[in-house]
Amino acid sequence: MLGLTLGLIWAAAGMVDATFANRVEAIAVERELPGMAVVVMDADRVVYAEGFGVADLSTEEPVTADTVFQLGSISKQFLAAFVVDLEDAGRLSLDAPLRRHLSDFDQFPADLRLHDLLDHTSGIREPLFEPDFAEGIEDLERSTAEMLFLLRRLPTDFPPGERWSYSNANYLLLAQLVEWMTGMRYEQALAERFFEPLGLSSLGPCPSVPEGADEALGYRMGRDGPELAPLENMDWLRGDGGLCGSARDVARWLRALDSGEALSDRARDRLWQRRTLPDGTRLDYANGFSLLPFGERAKFAHNGATPGFSASAALYPFDDLVIVVLSNLGDVRVDAVERELARRLFLEPPPDYRAVPIEPIGIDAWTGDYDFGAFPGSFVREDGALHVHMPAPAPSARLRYIGDRTFVAESDPDVLQFRFEYRPEGRRVRMRMAGMLWYGDD
């Protein structure tokens, strides 16, 4: 009922087609985006679908809701849904060890289970921080076989299931699992199971070099404005990323998941099922989705980030609302854009990020090095303020104290937030970044 009521408010009051639209366009200008597409669905109705700017600065081809963008890590949810669907069909168990299906990856722990890959509790190190792997992504001539060779050499940093640490290696392995189970490339398996039956014609593998007139080119911010971003080898981004699609089709996909059109009710519930770690931490991530709530509202979402693209796709299941934001500029953190649009649609005020006083000793209480699993974070006091330093692509920033042991990024407080706490095991900081909750221990 709430979703229906809000839908009527948005449509009748003109918030989506007037005030809302003006604000969306202003955001694109403020953030200096070459192009951006935004789609909003209220249940099965597309109540807003617009593009702003251009897909190609050289041709000035305009962006529409049907322009194809790279989706980055939003790609993970399609693969996760396929694996969960395999379990629903009785073809595997998410509790089964990886070695049962991929015996040639026997260098990983014997108790590494499929759900550890899906939920990022495997302990396998993030490959993007490994120099050899990063070089392969930049070389368009390198093969998938070469990527798998390096994947087999990745170390594990903690026992499976012990903690949460985001690693793209997990979904690279899951793509191999799907290919072993189906006997076809995982992209084709996704097309036959989901994209073709659901009529999501824009969704599919990204080419390393853009080919179609409907595909946006990716840009990064240079000294004089947006410039073409470096190309990536899509044969090295299979499962963890590598899919392209339009904002309209991504929104329709989320709606198909929520309505039961894409998966059975049992499989859908399994897809969004939280796990609890041995230390009592209840994960806010499951099967390719961040489950971090939006205030008191349930929210299932994920972001995508590549050198030339930024993406955010969110489902508010109890409000029947879907918001998708795609841009062809890298490192934009469009999850903040999505949240601003959600606040407008829910008639909620913006958060209060005003600074409150903190004694210097209060800053010193949290300085030090913290282990986020995928990367380290160093918190230091500089110029009377707390600063965080993390390796790229994670951001570094000057922080502002807003009370309750919580700091936000001075430059963009809705993008990067930290809340510190004491535990018997030591200090912990919970970082909200890229729409997910990361855990850092000292």
Rounded Cα distance, 328 and 36, in Å: 7
With H, G, I as helix, E, B as strand and everything else as coil, classify residue 337.
helix
Place of tokens 């795609």: 326
Cis peptide before 357 (omega within 30 of 0): no
Under DSSP, the state recorded for 261 is: S
The owner of tokens 């190190």 is 125
| The pair of three-digit structure tokens given for residue 389, joined into one six-digit string | 């330093």
Identical fold, 1-350 and 360-441: no
Identity of residue 263: L
Side-chain-side CA neighbours of 240 within 13 Å: the count stands at 23
Residue type, 331: D
Q: Helix, strand, or coil here: 81?
A: helix
pLDDT in tens, 168-204: 999 999 999 999 999 999 999 999 999 999 999 999 9
What is the C-alpha separation between 321 and 345, in angstroms, rounded?
9
- Is the CB of residue 28 less than 8 Å from the CB of residue 53? yes
* Residue pLDDT tens, the chain, 442 long: 344 444 444 443 345 767 888 999 999 999 999 999 999 999 999 999 999 999 999 999 999 999 999 999 999 999 999 999 999 999 999 999 999 999 989 999 999 999 999 999 999 999 988 889 989 999 999 999 999 999 999 999 999 999 999 999 999 999 999 999 999 999 999 999 999 999 999 999 999 998 877 999 999 999 999 999 999 999 999 999 999 999 999 999 999 999 999 999 999 999 999 999 998 999 999 999 999 999 999 999 999 999 999 999 999 999 999 999 999 999 888 999 999 999 999 999 999 999 999 877 789 999 999 999 888 999 999 998 999 999 887 889 999 999 999 999 999 999 999 999 998 888 999 999 999 999 999 8
Domain ranges within the chain, ordered by starting residue? 1-350, 360-441
Q: Residue 189 pairs with which residues in a beta bridge?
A: none
Strand order in the sheet with 35-42: 61-62, 45-56, 35-42, 321-327, 309-316, 300-306, 289-290, 285-286
State the chain's maximal CA–CA distance in angstroms. Answer: 62
User: Is 51 exposed, middle or buried (CB count within 10 Å of its CB: 0-12, 13-18, 19+)?
Assistant: buried
For residue 251 the two structure tokens come to: 């929104």
Reported as a single tens digit per residue, the pLDDT across 5-57 is 444 444 433 457 678 889 999 999 999 999 999 999 999 999 999 999 999 99
pLDDT digits (tens, 9 = 90+) for 135-156: 999 999 999 999 999 999 999 9
Instruction: Give the dihedral sign, CA 138/140/141/142.
Output: positive
CATH level 3 topology of 1-350: Beta-lactamase (3.40.710)
At 256-268, the pLDDT tens digits run: 999 999 999 999 9
**Which amino acid, one-letter code, is at 275?**
R
Question: Yes or no: is domain 360-441 CATH 2.40.128?
Answer: yes
Q: What is the pLDDT of residue 211?
A: 82
Within 230-352, strands assigned E span 243-246, 285-286, 289-290, 300-306, 309-316, 321-327
